[in-house]
Structure 1
């Protein structure tokens, strides 16, 4: 019996899909990895529901090396952060890490723009009083982009 729940599998698949989107899409990502588009899609979706109640791609999970590559391409540890949360841990940016850019006014504009995108996605999606799966994915993607902008600020201002 697996220790990982169906809900946790669904969460990992959801963040995998969001990570692909932030990184430029599954098709462009496939060109950089050892994995074909069809397999990448299986890692991010459940697929069709079978008669026994299981899902076609329910057990297809992204390999760790591909998850790291996807997170690198997306610019933040989206998949690995979700995995860490499942284990009861939080990932935090390393202080003094090479490549961390100094804080600029552009960072303030990015944070404002990205958080406004989240707000707009929520308002637009909720106009009919409900949130469908596509709307939730859009909101989730926008939220991850806002988090990434805030993570850049946190990394630039971390105590050395």
Structure 2
């Protein structure tokens, strides 16, 4: 069984929290706004580290009511290698080894020109039962 999958994210518009940290004003506001969005089949939010803090993104849809504190950005999209683990308990070294081996065996390499993304995929009911959340890790990739 393969534990890494390839996913293509389309170019699209995203609502951006701008750079911040959890517990700070703008991030709290983004979390409140995000929580007010209707939950779909798959999560539409993605988080990445921007060097000085996190940036939280949410897929934009036409007609969406976006607070002025946030901006709507163009998201490039492309291919990602995706692995799943327990949020905040991931052995990043082991995961990176598995991903790199998979990429090497399948004609890909990491694309360091784009940021790694992550999102929580666990619905609230499952979190309540399991006691933890699962996270998908999106590693940007390209052909060798």
Please report the TM-score for the alignment, with normalisation by the length of structure 2.
0.27
Which structure shows the bigger proportion of residues in helix conformation?
1
Which structure shows the bigger proportion of residues in strand conformation?
2
- When Rg is computed on C-alpha atoms for both structures, the one with the higher figure is 1
Greater relative contact order (Cα 8 A, min sep 6): structure 1 or 2? 2
